[in-house]
């Protein structure tokens, strides 16, 4: 069964409130800039926001910087993990602590471009989920492009969904996330969430975004640990594919 995205007739609306979950593992050089950029990003949309910094088991000064920012910025909070819980674990903890209507994850490495996040926030409220997809895939190494395409194709095949991308900076309604009990902690956690929500009836809107050109380096997505996490997730999806209700996403007409 295939699921549909929301059909829209108007532009985006302002966000009433938003929680930013910001994972930071050994980001002493980047964290402060990431937080300040997030503040500048959020300010035009709403005054009702919070930034939850998760010091995810860092061994450098990330924790101290997070505490300083929280002490001097009333809407910024620092949470410390003694050992790393990975992105999925941080996301789960962020959902539990979030106090606002919408939730989005922005990394503490400050490499998520403000323009990318802005295009997503611009569409807040037009569907239950705002899902970005990359339009300039040529900036990535060919191996990363191939693996990403294969990952998306497999998930779509197993789930009946037809998203173009599963690992981007997704904007969710917090109350929808609280209805889930997702199991993936590593790479693929967002894919598990998206499949579950879309198959349960949530509407979604896909938004094209551009990635910034980066210096050539070995992508973290190509690490053995991530391959194992992806394999685990796909196995989970295969055996639980009938666990989710078989009904299409709700379509919003405006």
Note whether residue 120 is domain-resident.
no
pLDDT at 146: 84
Pick the last residue of a domain from 112, 144, 163.
112
Q: Are residues 35 and 57 in the same domain?
A: yes
Pick the last residue of a domain from 112, 139, 162.
112
Note whether residue 6 is domain-resident.
no
What's the distance, CA 143 to chain centroid?
A: 22
pLDDT at 89: 93
In angstroms, the Cα distances linking 27 to 36, 99, 107, 109 are: 14, 25, 10, 6
Note whether residue 22 is domain-resident.
yes
- Domain hosting 243: range is 125-254
The answer to whether 10 touches 254, Cβ cutoff 8 Å, is yes
- CATH (domain of 87): 3.90.550.10
Q: How many domains does the chain have?
A: 2
Instruction: Tally the C-alpha atoms within 13 A of residue 89's C-alpha that lie toward its C-beta.
Output: 15
Note whether residue 199 is domain-resident.
yes
Pick the last residue of a domain from 112, 138, 154.
112
How confident is the model over 121-150, as pLDDT tens digits?
Answer: 999 999 999 999 988 877 778 877 888 888
CA pair distance 88, 90, nearest whole angstrom: 5
Q: Are residues 227 and 140 in the same domain?
A: yes
How confident is the model over 50-84, as pLDDT tens digits?
Answer: 999 999 999 999 999 999 999 999 999 999 999 99
Q: Are residues 83 and 186 in the same domain?
A: no
Q: Are residues 60 and 153 in the same domain?
A: no
Q: Is 125 helix (H, G, I), strand (E, B) or coil?
A: coil
Note whether residue 118 is domain-resident.
no
Q: Are residues 201 and 89 in the same domain?
A: no
pLDDT at 187: 74
Note whether residue 161 is domain-resident.
yes
**Burial (CB count within 10 angstroms: exposed 0-12, middle 13-18, buried 19+), residue 232:** middle
pLDDT at 107: 93
Regions of the chain where pLDDT drops below 70: 1-14, 112, 212-254
21's enclosing H/E stretch is: strand 18-24
- Tokens found for residue 179: 């209805």
Q: Are residues 247 and 140 in the same domain?
A: yes
pLDDT at 229: 65
């Amino acid at each position: 069964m295939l699921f549909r995205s929301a059909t829209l007739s108007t532009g985006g609306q302002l966000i009433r409130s938003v929680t930013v979950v910001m994972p930071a593992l050994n980001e002493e050089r980047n964290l402060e800039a990431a937080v300040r950029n997030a503040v500048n990003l959020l300010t035009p949309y709403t005054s009702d926001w919070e930034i939850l910094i998760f010091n995810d088991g860092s061994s450098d000064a990330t924790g101290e910087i997070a505490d300083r920012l929280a002490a001097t910025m009333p809407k910024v909070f620092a949470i410390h993990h003694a050992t790393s819980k990975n992105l999925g674990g941080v996301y789960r903890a962020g959902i539990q602590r979030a106090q606002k209507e919408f939730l989005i994850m922005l990394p503490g490495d400050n490499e998520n471009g403000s323009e990318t996040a802005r295009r997503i926030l611009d569409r807040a409220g037009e569907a239950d989920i705002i899902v970005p997809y990359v339009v300039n895939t040529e900036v990535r190494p060919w191996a990363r492009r191939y693996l990403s395409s294969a990952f998306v194709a497999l998930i779509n095949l197993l789930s009946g969904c037809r998203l173009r991308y599963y690992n981007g900076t997704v904007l969710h309604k917090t109350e929808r996330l609280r209805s889930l009990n997702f199991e993936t902690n590593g790479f693929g956690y967002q894919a598990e969430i998206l499949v579950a929500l879309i198959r349960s009836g949530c509407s979604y809107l896909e938004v094209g975004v551009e990635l910034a050109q980066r210096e050539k380096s070995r992508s973290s997505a190509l690490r053995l640990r991530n391959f194992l996490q992806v394999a685990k997730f796909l196995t989970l999806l295969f055996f639980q594919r009938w666990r989710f209700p078989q009904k299409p996403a709700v379509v919003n007409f405006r």
